[in-house]
Chains A and B, each alone.
Chain A
Amino acid sequence: MKRLRPFILIIVALAAWEIAARSGLWSPILFPSLTRIAYQFWLFVSQPDGFTQTWTTLYRAFGGFALAAVVGIALGMVMGRSALVAEMLDPLFSGTYAVPKLALFPIFIFVFGLGSLSKIALVFLECLYPMAIITYHGARSVQPVLLWSAQNMGASRARTLARVVFPATLPYIFAALRVALPVALIVAIITEMISSVDGLGYLVTYSLSSLKTDRMLALVVVISLLGLALDHALVALRNRLVYWEKLDTFYV
């Protein structure tokens, strides 16, 4: 029973959906039954094109995410350990954090083209903020006693950064990665919905244009499962690398 607990709400939501779909109160085009959604889901996963389209979206999401991780972690670490750099960059990050970067997408299209590059660039920009800011706060909150010990043992600045600051910041870095990963997936899909000839976002728009809500919802399920699997993988990696501080908030 305990193992089922995380699924109870999902089961209740699915049951509520099915009851609504079968009630006849709403058009099946708006509220398709779970059977119809499941059929469309099966059609998607059983065809090679489904994997090609999924890979296209993942490639764009991971491309921007990986770049943001590298740049964001580096920036956050430097900001966290250098008051001068923090003083210079903090206003830039704080001042532009709330800007909806998606509004810049038309400009990105003109700069980087209609293909994947403009999408990857926007994913990068959206993910950079949580990556840099959370890492920055992590790097700042390293216990002074750890730094003093390293200094007392004669560790250089670079060695202290690599052997003390970085491991102590790792839980924050993984928190940033967990925040940024779904953002990457969402932004990749939204940019594909706006302007693309492939990827899951394109398929969502295409299904909506054809009033195929069942197909669109099947894609939503695919996206949800992808998000879940990626988060699961990230938490597993985190628990392996940050073994001294395992996450106890992950149930599913």
Chain B
Amino acid sequence: MKAAMKNNLTVLTTVATMSALLAGCSNNPTHATACSLPDGPNLERAISAARFDLETGCEHEFDGYFQRLLTIAEGDPKKENKASFSDFLLWANDAGLLSKAQARQTYNRYFGIKYVSLVSDYSVCAQTCPHQSDVMRDMNRELADKEQGLLKISADRLNYTRASNLYQETELVLEATCEACGPIE
């Protein structure tokens, strides 16, 4: 009697394990398909697809999706693209994928004139000058992102030129200011 009961328990355990495994297997293919980056030339469609995927388990791939959307948008540069990316980032914030600060920094890195690389809390002498070359290198990278966002995606030559001029002016003024601040103590 005891042996029969033990056998039944073993069978039940095996069945339960198999069911769990099968259920897991049936979920996996869906997960893999959902995380394939959007394709095609239509930005709005790509954004919809990205939003769906990011809501259904692919949030860890956010950066990859965002970069793909940027690439797709380059195929059809227009001013309206800015609004599309703004909406997408606001949605990402609402969906809990990005903090407000991250959304703001990402948007401005690509579509703003000001440099998020220059965000700081302390004086130029105290905080920026000790890392002047790093700051300029970061700004230079950001300028490349602005070229993509403003020029190649939004066809906004005017604001890209302003961002580019701001880079040159900042470089000059920082050089003079850091020289005036004196050696780092």
- The yes or no verdict on A and B being binding partners is no
